[in-house]
Amino acid sequence: MASLSLPTKIFLYPNSPSIQFQSQHRPPQRLTFPRNIKIICSATEQPQPQPQQQQPKKKKKNETESEKGVDPVGFLTKHGISHKAFAIFLRERHKALKDLKDEIFNRHINLRDMASGFEILGMHRHFEHRVDYMEWAPGARYCALIGDFNGWSPTENAAREGFFGHDDFGYWFIILEDKLREGEKPDELYFQQYNYVDDYDKGDSGVSIDEIFKKSNDDYWEPGEDRFVNNRFEVPAKLYEQLFGPNGPQTLEELEEIPDPETRYKAWKEQHKNDPPSNLPPYDVIDQGKEYDIFNVVSSPEWVKKVFAKKPPLEYWLETRKGRKAWLKKYTPGIPHGSKYRVYFNTPSGPLERVPAWATYVQPDIDGKQGFAVHWEPPPESAYKWKNTPPKVPKSLRIYECHVGISGSEPKVSSFNDFTEKVLPHVKEAGYNAIQLFGVVEHKDYFTVGYRVTNFYAVSSRYGTPDDFKRLVDEAHGLGLLVFLDIVHSYSAADEMVGLSLFDGSNDCYFHTGKRGHHKYWGTRMFKYGDPDVLHFLLSNLNWWVVEYQIDGFQFHSLSSMMYTHNGFASFTGDLEEYCNQYVDRDALLYLILANEILHVLHPNIVTIAEDATFYPGLCEPTSQGGLGFDYYVNLSVSEMWSSFLENVPDHEWSMSKIVSTLMGNKQHADKMLMYAENHNQSISGGKSFAEILFGESREDSQGLKQSLLRGCSLHKMIKLITFTIGGRAYMNFMGNEFGHPERVEFPMASNKLSFQLAKRRWDLLEKGMHRDLFSFDKDLMKLDENERILSRGLPNIHHVNDTTMVISYLRGPLLFIFNFHPTDSYEQYNVGVEEAGEYQVVLNTDETKFGGQGLIKDNQYLRRTISRRVDGLRNCLEVCLPSRTAQVYKLSRILRI
């Protein structure tokens, strides 16, 4: 909560009765809330009293509690960075963020409401036998729903500008009434509700409404208490009779002078002093000398307390709700489950049709036919029910990157169910603790790999239904795997029918106008992040995937495309001026800050990862300290370095210094790095996987082929090992690379005659030869982290980097890592420094025969004892055997006291 630096109170709807707020400036406070109640809570700090004074020091008028602990340039101060222009930019950005939040709170009750648009926009079933539809289209003049449920009529279910159904912000509202079956009568109560979703088999007792109300009154009121409720004129009539008698005056002329209230009150009390006790409410008239006191009738405190102690008869009111069986008997849905539909607009440019922006299930263009949305409202008995709870976020992430469509071994588009049954067990066996899915959100063109998103709230229908995807996530959680989504909010597809481009006929609905609204090189549309309604759409989209599908985290794709008006296509030298000049899109940065703040408050266990090729300063710093608030950032330089070495640099010219400096990145943020040797980018769009580069060149003679395979296998393992163990707390591997997939990925497109030949994975290779050996090594590598917690430890102490011998050595925790990248030179007794004196045991050796190696290091060489000699600036050293192109991992097994 400390990260939410709001100029006003924060409102939350807690998901649990107890919420823990942790601030780095004060001890944790536990706030307990009752369930199912709207909660207003403040994350602000209370003013602390000065020790010399009895009273707390008064705050200045312009200082709010929420500003305590907020420093817009805090991370610059922490790292000792001095850059005046960038500091001014951060302060101005912080002020703009406060102004933006003020604007948001003028429209939304709180930030949760801002990020929960999916609760009202799109299609939603209402209790009162109807479906409500809402859409944002400020440029339209007329809105209608058309589909197979109404014969695609643009007039049957519509709303017009100037009439109920359209507000000042451009939101359209249409009600689709359920249809009364022939012979059935409308409900007696106009507000009749139905248990359509929950407890759908209850509420059909057959008891009439009159019987329920009678039972409620009988149980709620004591004898006589409801007398004046049922006969509301009895009290004034009796009062009149008491004042004037049964034959009292009927006109003002007949009315004599009325005694004062006190006299009348005393006379009435005297008259009724001997009355027996009664359950009727006792009332008294209180006169304090004012003219209106004659009407000031109050009850006794005892009776008021008794009335307020009564609980409303809600259980009887709930009995008036009917169950789904009664609904099915009486009504047919206004829009049945599975109906195809689109939204129809009348605009200044003429009529047009669109797939709704908030649609949750979409069929894009198929066989030349226009796309449409599918109303997804399965019967409660067949809707997916979650079985497993998400696992806790581990201290280190071993992420398995996947694409569902290419996950099968056959040349076709694989489904969610195929992935669930075949790939998830493999991921679990391989030792990873998270999967990251890309290409899941709906996109029209399969060959775009899923990055040109058309429908942001829909899972791709080519893989299955929304319930199929829920099952995938649920089964992954059951296996202990987190599920991350590669989310693309940095741009959008330029399609109009199924996308958001020109959605309401105008050019400035979701995107910028003119050149700024188009990506310079990719032909995609650029969001208008400064528009509150666009923010509402995007922030709600993030929350939607967590609430609806229980997603555990997001990797934000290609942030450089959105953070700069040049879309990241510029030369960067690292000067901070490049991150605060006129080419920086401040609105995009504010969106990212809001996204991280809201996600981490609403879902404390969420993980956010930034993919930014420009390494924007403060990516993973707290938003309260001027950062963007991400948990991890991707070090994109690593895979590019390995690709460059493998393809362009001879083995004996590899620079050990460059390898180490690239892998370590910025030491100040190294623990926040997500590292990978290669991801899907290396093998898609004409590229090659590392295995294809290493094993693709065949030799004419068998000896040459053997040497080529040995080289490729050795380098493949060493690259994986050093990338995994030298960096931060997160590592990622693309599906198939763990066993050296020998082929690139190529999606079906016109250039390959729509072939699926390379849009699949060769799982059969796991059963034999080199690929089986590489997989064995990768499993042992994951197991090493599971047992020794390598990634979650502090950064390594890199004490030996020799470009001549091509040897790298470093310590991380109790483990010593040694690499010999030299293509020909082996070392029988190579000295590397260690701090602790003792015995070191080999726990992982890339040259073992079970990993496809030669087994040059014998079993009696696996245990080494230190020598008391200062090497590499450390007190002791080890003499180890280092065959060429091998690496060993040693663990201190016994400490020697000298």
Judged by average pLDDT, the poorest of 20-29, 395-404, 696-705, 822-831 is 20-29
Location of structure tokens 């070495």? 645
What local confidence, expressed as pLDDT, does residue 11 receive? 30
Beta bridge partners of 880: 830
Confidence of residue 296 (pLDDT cuts 50, 70, 90): low
**β-bridge pairing 322-323 and 194-195:** parallel
Does some domain include residue 237?
yes
The residue with greater pLDDT, 288 or 474, is 474
What local confidence, expressed as pLDDT, does residue 220 receive? 76
What local confidence, expressed as pLDDT, does residue 210 receive? 77
Does some domain include residue 502?
no
Whether the predicted pLDDT of 630 surpasses 50: yes
Does some domain include residue 115?
no
The residues near 219 (Cβ < 8 Å, ≥ 6 apart) are: 313, 316
The stretch 787-816 carries a mean pLDDT of 94
The residues near 670 (Cβ < 8 Å, ≥ 6 apart) are: 664, 727, 728, 795
Q: Are 17 and 61 in contact (CB under 8 A)?
A: no
Record the tokens describing residue 686, joined without a space.
């004409």
What local confidence, expressed as pLDDT, does residue 493 receive? 94
The residues near 302 (Cβ < 8 Å, ≥ 6 apart) are: none
The stretch 262-279 carries a mean pLDDT of 75
Q: Are 591 and 537 in contact (CB under 8 A)?
A: no
SS3 800: strand
Does some domain include residue 482?
no
Whether the predicted pLDDT of 225 surpasses 70: no
According to DSSP, residue 584 is labeled: B
What's the whole-model pTM score? 0.83
DSSP letters for 101-119: HHHHHHH-SSHHHHT-GGG
Does some domain include residue 24?
no
Whether the predicted pLDDT of 30 surpasses 80: no
The residue with greater pLDDT, 527 or 305, is 527
How far apart CA 541 and CA 600 sit, in angstroms, is 15
Instruction: Label residue 80 left, alpha or beta by phi (over 0 means left) and psi (-120 to 50 means alpha).
Output: left
The stretch 402-427 carries a mean pLDDT of 96
Confidence of residue 832 (pLDDT cuts 50, 70, 90): very high
The residue with greater pLDDT, 898 or 581, is 581
Record the tokens describing residue 564, joined without a space.
């700069």
What local confidence, expressed as pLDDT, does residue 703 receive? 67
**β-bridge pairing 142-147 and 673-675:** unpaired
How far apart CA 680 and CA 741 sit, in angstroms, is 12
Q: What's 644's domain CATH number? A: 2.60.40.1180
Q: What are phi and psi of 701, to 5 degrees?
A: -95, 155
Angle subtended at Cα 112 by Cα 107 and Cα 117, rounded to the nearest 5 degrees: 65
How far apart CA 731 and CA 674 sit, in angstroms, is 5
The stretch 685-691 carries a mean pLDDT of 78
Confidence of residue 53 (pLDDT cuts 50, 70, 90): very low
Whether the predicted pLDDT of 49 surpasses 50: no
Whether the predicted pLDDT of 466 surpasses 70: yes
Confidence of residue 744 (pLDDT cuts 50, 70, 90): confident
Does some domain include residue 643?
yes
What local confidence, expressed as pLDDT, does residue 898 receive? 58
The residue with greater pLDDT, 234 or 17, is 234
What local confidence, expressed as pLDDT, does residue 242 receive? 64
SS3 818: strand
Chain-wide mean pLDDT for the chain? 85
Does some domain include residue 697?
yes
How far apart CA 616 and CA 614 sit, in angstroms, is 6
What local confidence, expressed as pLDDT, does residue 707 receive? 86
* Residue whose C-alpha is closest to residue 717's, from 584, 871, 820, 637: 820
Beta bridge partners of 889: 817, 844
According to DSSP, residue 643 is labeled: H
Beta strands in 100-208 (DSSP E): 122-126, 130-136, 142-147, 158-160, 171-177, 179-180, 194-195
Please report, rounded to a whole number, the percentage of residues in the chain having pLDDT higher than 90: 61
For 115-154, what is each residue's pLDDT tens digit?
999 999 999 999 888 999 999 999 999 999 999 999 999 9
Confidence of residue 316 (pLDDT cuts 50, 70, 90): confident
Q: Are 245 and 188 in contact (CB under 8 A)?
A: no
What local confidence, expressed as pLDDT, does residue 684 receive? 75
The stretch 160-168 carries a mean pLDDT of 75
How far apart CA 864 and CA 879 sit, in angstroms, is 7
For 759-799, what is each residue's pLDDT tens digit?
999 999 999 899 999 999 999 999 999 999 999 998 899 99
The residue with greater pLDDT, 212 or 631, is 631
What local confidence, expressed as pLDDT, does residue 231 receive? 67
* Residue whose C-alpha is closest to residue 324's, from 124, 129, 119: 129
Q: Are 143 and 206 in contact (CB under 8 A)?
A: no
Catalytic residues: 611
The stretch 220-245 carries a mean pLDDT of 68
What local confidence, expressed as pLDDT, does residue 201 receive? 64
What local confidence, expressed as pLDDT, does residue 705 receive? 79
Whether the predicted pLDDT of 3 surpasses 70: no
What local confidence, expressed as pLDDT, does residue 680 receive? 80
The residue with greater pLDDT, 215 or 246, is 215
How far apart CA 850 and CA 862 sit, in angstroms, is 16
Angle subtended at Cα 28 by Cα 26 and Cα 29, rounded to the nearest 5 degrees: 110
The residue with greater pLDDT, 668 or 573, is 573
* Residue whose C-alpha is closest to residue 727's, from 810, 642, 629, 621: 810
How far apart CA 807 and CA 656 sit, in angstroms, is 7
Maximum alpha-carbon separation in the chain: 132
**Consecutive H or E run containing 18:** strand 18-23
The stretch 345-364 carries a mean pLDDT of 94
How far apart CA 249 and CA 242 sit, in angstroms, is 12
Q: Are 446 and 412 in contact (CB under 8 A)?
A: no
Record the tokens describing residue 123, joined without a space.
């299609």
The residue with greater pLDDT, 456 or 41, is 456
Domain tally, the chain: 2
Does some domain include residue 691?
yes
The residue with greater pLDDT, 11 or 490, is 490
Beta strands in 488-586 (DSSP E): 553-556
Q: Are 240 and 250 in contact (CB under 8 A)?
A: no
- How many angstroms separate the Cα of 53 from the Cα of each of 361, 560, 722? 63, 52, 58
DSSP letters for 720-749: HHHHHHHS-SEEEEETTGGGT--S------
For 65-78, what is each residue's pLDDT tens digit?
456 789 999 999 99
The stretch 605-631 carries a mean pLDDT of 95
Confidence of residue 378 (pLDDT cuts 50, 70, 90): very high
What local confidence, expressed as pLDDT, does residue 119 receive? 95
Judged by average pLDDT, the poorest of 32-36, 245-249, 528-532, 591-595 is 32-36
Whether the predicted pLDDT of 844 surpasses 50: yes
Residue numbers of the domain that contains 834: 636-895
**Consecutive H or E run containing 556:** strand 553-556
- How many angstroms separate the Cα of 269 from the Cα of each of 243, 266, 274, 717? 13, 5, 9, 100
Beta bridge partners of 136: 171
Location of structure tokens 């996600």? 599
Whether the predicted pLDDT of 323 surpasses 90: no
How far apart CA 631 and CA 492 sit, in angstroms, is 25
